[in-house]
Amino acid sequence: MNNLRWNEDLPRVAEARTILHAGMPSRLVVPENDTGNDAILHVHGGGWAFCSPATHEGAARRLAIACRAPVLTVDYRLAPEHPFPCGLEDCLTAWEARAPDRRWSLAGDSAGANLCLGLMLRLLAIDREMPASALLFYGVYGADFSTESYVEQAAGPGLTQAGMRAYWNLYALPEDRADPFVVPLRAPDADLARLPPLYLNAAELDPLRSDTELLVARLNAIGRADRFDLWPGVVHGFMQMGNALPEAREAFERAGEAFREVTT
């Protein structure tokens, strides 16, 4: 995977090891500044079909340092061999197997943010314990290819409208896309109102930008005050570029600030 190239010159952490979590190979990263109180279940992006804990090692380390908490990245099943609901079921299994000695939050980028939000809606539906907070980076929340950003950024740079159509076709049948667990923008206001505090960001030059903007508008309309940062001049997946892009490093710092605001 091309994403592996961003995992050079990794920031130092106290511990980084591969473990088996809920039967899934997973990567545990513990920062040197761990407060001992919180932990984060991290769901990697990659169009539901690509990437792994290895491709997101740098992101996991920067997230752990920024949030001062261990980060556990799970290797959930990928499409097309394992389409919806397989990945979401794996995330639920991983969540329910979390250690009880910490207060847990969620974090995810792109398709990982979609799975995090779908997981929270699923937890509401089955009346299970919710995360303390969730950090959602340039996520996939809708399947409408006519939004402003899908039109403006149809040809990229980077992620394209055609690319997202292909990812959707790998992950979920058209008839599944009426399900809020697949397309969280279809969730009712009552469910969105019950979500824990969220931190959201989006990249300006990203076909998915409007997905986050539409979600933020929904959240604001029901009286929530979730923090949202729009990053100008960057493309989808920019936080993977932390070893080269200052905006990526700053994005993790802001996410960490938001995390600590709601967990301390």
What is the predicted pLDDT for the residue at 239?
98
Residue range 186-196: mean pLDDT, rounded: 98
Residue range 189-200: mean pLDDT, rounded: 98
- 100-154 per-position pLDDT tens digit: 999 999 999 999 999 999 999 999 999 999 999 999 999 999 999 999 999 999 9
What is the predicted pLDDT for the residue at 2?
60
What is the predicted pLDDT for the residue at 264?
83
Q: Is the pLDDT of residue 44 over 50?
A: yes
Asked if the bond preceding 197 is cis, omega within 30° of 0, the reply is: no
Q: Which residue intervals of 18-147 are DSSP H helices?
A: 57-67, 86-96, 111-125
Can you tell me whether residue 134 is helix, strand or coil?
A: strand
Q: Is the pLDDT of residue 3 over 80?
A: no
- Going by pLDDT thresholds of 50, 70 and 90, the confidence category of residue 1 is very low
The β-bridge relationship of strands 71-74 and 24-30 is antiparallel
Burial class (CB in 10 A: 0-12, 13-18, 19+), 173: exposed
Q: How far is CA 98 from CA 95, 122, 201, 238, in A?
A: 5, 16, 26, 29
Residue 181: give the domain boundaries. 2-263
Mean pLDDT of the chain: 97
Can you tell me whether residue 149 is helix, strand or coil?
A: helix
Q: Is the pLDDT of residue 8 over 90?
A: no
* Nearest of 40, 186, 177 to residue 109 by alpha carbon: 40
Q: Is the pLDDT of residue 208 over 60?
A: yes
Q: Is the pLDDT of residue 4 over 70?
A: no
- ∠ CA 67-73-77, rounded to 5°: 150
Rounded CA separation 174/187 (Å): 17
How many domains is the chain partitioned into structurally? 1
- Which of 4-18, 111-125, 174-188, 203-217 is the least confident region? 4-18
Any idea what the CATH number is for the domain that residue 7 is in?
3.40.50.1820
Q: Is the pLDDT of residue 32 over 80?
A: yes
* Nearest of 31, 30, 26 to residue 44 by alpha carbon: 26
